[in-house]
């Protein structure tokens, strides 16, 4: 073979080898990413045409696929959209998925690796594949009570069985109708998407899990836990002046309530939500101890719930003034309602934090179980002895303090109010987080905007009644 032919042969062989390598790379390594690419209309058409599994609350389907005629043989339907949109999310041809529709997409579509044998059997028998059903931990009565109590306010509620981690209610308001996005009329879906995306009240925001806010005085539970873990007791005295000058700063911290004296116990400080007492407590403990306690509760950690969730923040570097502010849940502290309910849940569960979960099982149509969830211990952010002391302090807050609107006759309730300042041009956030002993539930109620006068905004006035409504629905 002469030289020029040999060179051409080698060149062509290299091209063929490169082509084979590229085809192998695409077929083996890039299959999943190409299938997930939103521009891949073939995959989208195939997925949108499947008999998608149902999302269940008890025996009731809150999302299901209904047969139809036309280009797509099924349409995703949400029978009670305004009640469950915070949980189901949406499922749309052009606008992807959210909520449980997103986090369990493969199981619902029947394309997960655990369902591969079933897909092979369906192919051999000529049967159409269908997705698995998702069984949730949610309680319909608690969910309905939360939606009703929040009303037209922008806010969120999360209710959790603190002994197991089961989420009993998860609501973000305003709610919306995911049927508008799931429609097979793609032009109508586009109109709905533009309206929802540009709405002033931002209904597509997942306020319960995906957004973080200043927690205000609900964070005093974390500061109190750090104090108890550091050897203090509820009767430990702390200075509570009317105004606390922040170290090395021209700013001062004031009180919005009557603390009951210039020097009070930690229990009294929590009962009255005394800012200056907790500011001094934060200065005594120092930023490192506050950060360690916050991170033990889950701050600065990736959330572990079944749906998309934001990481709650506690600052990593603090001067003394910033330390005092973080002790009352201000400065750069930010938490999701899910994070705050986990704090109360761990305290109520004698210091043991359970992993929160929304889905109890994934089941094929033939009732074979693909996966199931059992309660799982996530950590112990404080000792049992400290937790019991803090429980007593939280009960005092409700029985004789700022949390009195959360009282329920015949039940032992512990809680903490919070009113978080944000910007001068917007109203404060209102919080209430607490727990009941029977039923064993922790609930957080958060109000971002209630469209009321600034002086009428407080955790006790706005959020505590929402907490009470949810707990009463679970009795």
- Catalytic residue numbers, as ranges: 217
Q: Is the dihedral of CA 385, 340, 413, 259 positive or negative?
A: positive
Rg for the chain, CA atoms, rounded: 26
**DSSP, res 463:** I
Distance CA 89, CA 91 (A): 7
What number of CA atoms fall less than 13 Å from residue 120's CA on the CB side? 5
Cα angle 412, 418, 420 (rounded to 5 degrees) comes to 170
Question: At a CB cut-off of 8 Å and minimum separation 6, what does 262 contact?
Answer: 239, 240, 241, 242
Distances (CA, A) of 304 to 241, 332, 355, 359, 376: 41, 23, 7, 12, 11
Give every CB contact of residue 432 below 8 A, 6+ residues apart in sequence.
218, 403, 406, 415, 416, 417, 418, 444, 445, 459, 460, 463, 464, 466, 467
């Amino acid at each position: 073979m002469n030289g020029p032919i040999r060179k051409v042969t080698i060149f062509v062989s290299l091209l063929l080898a490169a082509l084979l390598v590229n085809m192998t790379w695409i077929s083996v390594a890039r299959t999943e990413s190409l299938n997930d690419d939103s521009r891949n209309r073939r995959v989208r058409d195939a997925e949108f045409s499947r008999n998608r599994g149902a999302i269940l609350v008890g025996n009731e389907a809150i999302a299901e696929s209904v047969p139809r005629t036309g280009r797509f043989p099924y349409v995703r339907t949400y029978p009670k959209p305004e009640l469950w949109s915070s949980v189901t999310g949406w499922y749309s041809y052009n606008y992807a998925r959210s909520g449980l529709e997103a986090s369990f997409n493969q199981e619902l579509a029947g394309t997960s690796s655990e369902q591969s044998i079933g897909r092979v059997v369906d192919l051999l028998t000529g049967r159409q594949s269908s997705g698995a059903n998702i069984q949730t931990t949610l309680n319909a009565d608690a969910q309905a009570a939360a939606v009703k109590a929040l009303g037209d306010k922008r806010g969120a509620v999360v209710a959790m069985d603190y002994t197991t981690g089961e989420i009993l209610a998860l609501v973000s308001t305003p709610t919306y109708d995911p049927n508008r996005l799931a429609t097979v009329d793609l032009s109508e879906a586009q109109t709905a998407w533009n309206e929802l995306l540009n709405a002033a009240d931002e209904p597509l925001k997942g306020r319960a899990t995906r957004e973080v806010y200043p927690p205000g005085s609900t964070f005093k539970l974390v500061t109190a836990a750090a104090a108890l873990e550091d050897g203090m007791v509820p009767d430990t005295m702390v200075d509570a002046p009317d105004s606390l000058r922040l170290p090395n700063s021209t700013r001062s911290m004031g009180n919005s309530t009557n603390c009951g004296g210039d020097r009070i116990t930690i229990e009294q400080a929590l009962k009255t939500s005394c800012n200056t007492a907790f500011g001094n407590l934060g200065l005594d403990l120092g930023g490192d101890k506050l950060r360690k306690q916050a991170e033990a509760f889950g701050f600065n950690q990736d959330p572990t719930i079944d749906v998309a969730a934001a990481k709650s923040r506690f600052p990593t570097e603090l001067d003394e003034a910033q330390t005092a502010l973080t002790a009352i849940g201000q400065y750069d502290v930010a938490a999701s309602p899910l994070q705050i309910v986990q704090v109360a849940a761990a305290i109520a569960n004698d210091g043991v934090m359970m992993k929160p979960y929304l889905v109890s099982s994934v089941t094929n149509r033939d009732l074979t179980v693909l996966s199931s969830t059992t309660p799982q211990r996530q950590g112990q952010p404080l000792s049992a002895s400290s937790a019991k002391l803090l429980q007593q302090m939280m009960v005092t807050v409700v029985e004789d303090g700022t949390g009195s609107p959360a009282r329920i006759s015949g039940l032992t309730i512990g809680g903490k109010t919070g009113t978080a300042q944000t910007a001068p041009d917007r109203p404060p956030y209102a919080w209430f987080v607490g727990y009941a002993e029977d039923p064993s539930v922790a609930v957080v109620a958060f109000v971002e905007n209630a469209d009321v006068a600034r002086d009428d905004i407080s955790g006790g006035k706005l959020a505590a009644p929402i907490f009470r409504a949810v707990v009463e629905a679970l009795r």
